[in-house]
């Protein structure tokens, strides 16, 4: 069922780093983004793919992980992503990117799930450092990074409790819990 894929498509932040991702796989995932919706069909998104260890390490150094887990600085060596897709906006094609990159990243992550992979959309990026590391020309706006790998953690969805707290948290067994609001709390009108 499609809902099972959506349920499985969580934000994963710990991976079997030695499970390499091929360039072909990354290309197939970008192809899903290519086939997705785009405002005015401008298709302004461009991508940098990375799966080699040295560049992976450099990209990793520009990213911030799990802001709510204040005592966790991010995945340790050996549990880091084995690949990245950097999502760029080509300003020569469109100045207003709308929500294209969100749609593209979700297509990428849904496709990753189907392939037995997982990942995390990252918005907290040292963009100027990343631009230098990857020699990204100024005409491209750095929008997001999708980190990818073979997930090494369990993520469960919980209902948001009566206190309304939406912060994700980790339990003693390092299971990652993500509170989700109830359907009745997000539908504000029906007719
Ligand atoms: C646009 C966007 C940016 C995000 N940026 C980050 C980030 O910088 N670092 C991070 O660890 N997670 C990031 N996330 C992941 C969210 O924290 C995650 O989606 C949220 O905790 C819900 O978990 P779920 O994706 O498993 O439902 C981002 C998610 C989105 C949609």
Looking at residue 108, its pLDDT comes to 99
Does residue 11 have its Cβ closer than 6 Å to ligand 1? yes
Does residue 120 have its Cβ closer than 6 Å to ligand 1? yes
Q: Which H or E run contains 145?
A: strand 140-149
Distance (angstroms) between ligand 1 centre and the Cα of 154 equals 16
Tell which residue, 78, 81, 111, 82, has the closest CA to residue 21. 82
User: How far, in Å, CA of 30 to CA of 50, rounded?
Assistant: 12
Does residue 66 have its Cβ closer than 6 Å to ligand 1? yes
Distance (Å) of CA 72 to CA 3, 51, 69, 174, 186 = 30, 24, 5, 11, 30
Which atom of ligand 1 is closest in space to residue 155's alpha carbon?
Answer: 26
Question: Residue 173 — pLDDT band, cuts 50, 70, 90?
Answer: very high
Instruction: Give the Cβ contact number of residue 46 at 10 Å.
Output: 17
What is the average pLDDT value for the chain, to the nearest integer?
A: 98
pTM above 0.75, yes or no: yes
User: How far, in Å, CA of 103 to CA of 145, rounded?
Assistant: 13
Does residue 73 have its Cβ closer than 6 Å to ligand 1? no
User: How far, in Å, CA of 153 to CA of 175, rounded?
Assistant: 7
Q: Give pLDDT tens digits for 107-131.
A: 999 999 999 999 999 999 999 999 9
Does residue 69 have its Cβ closer than 6 Å to ligand 1? no
Looking at residue 22, its pLDDT comes to 98
Residue 68 sits at the vertex; the CA angle it makes with 105 and 114, to the nearest 5 degrees, is: 30
User: How far, in Å, CA of 97 to CA of 99, rounded?
Assistant: 6
The mean pLDDT of 47-57, rounded to a whole number, is 98
């Amino acid at each position: 069922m499609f809902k099972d894929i959506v349920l499985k498509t969580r934000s994963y932040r710990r991976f079997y780093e030695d499970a390499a991702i091929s360039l072909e796989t990354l290309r197939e995932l970008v192809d899903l983004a290519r086939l997705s919706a785009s405002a005015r069909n401008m298709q302004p998104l461009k991508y940098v793919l990375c799966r080699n260890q040295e560049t992976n390490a450099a990209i990793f150094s520009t990213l911030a992980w799990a802001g709510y887990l204040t005592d966790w600085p991010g995945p340790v060596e050996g549990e880091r992503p084995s690949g990245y897709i950097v999502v760029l906006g080509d300003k020569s094609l469109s100045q207003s990117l709308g929500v294209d990159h969100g749609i593209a990243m979700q297509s990428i992550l849904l496709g990753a799930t189907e392939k037995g992979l997982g990942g995390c959309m990252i918005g907290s990026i040292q963009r100027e450092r990343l631009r230098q590391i990857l020699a990204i020309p100024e005409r491209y706006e750095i929008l997001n990074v999708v980190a990818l790998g073979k997930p090494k953690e369990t993520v469960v969805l919980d209902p948001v409790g009566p206190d309304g707290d939406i912060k994700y948290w980790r339990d003693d067994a390092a299971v990652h819990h993500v509170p989700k609001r109830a359907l009745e709390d997000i539908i504000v009108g029906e007719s």
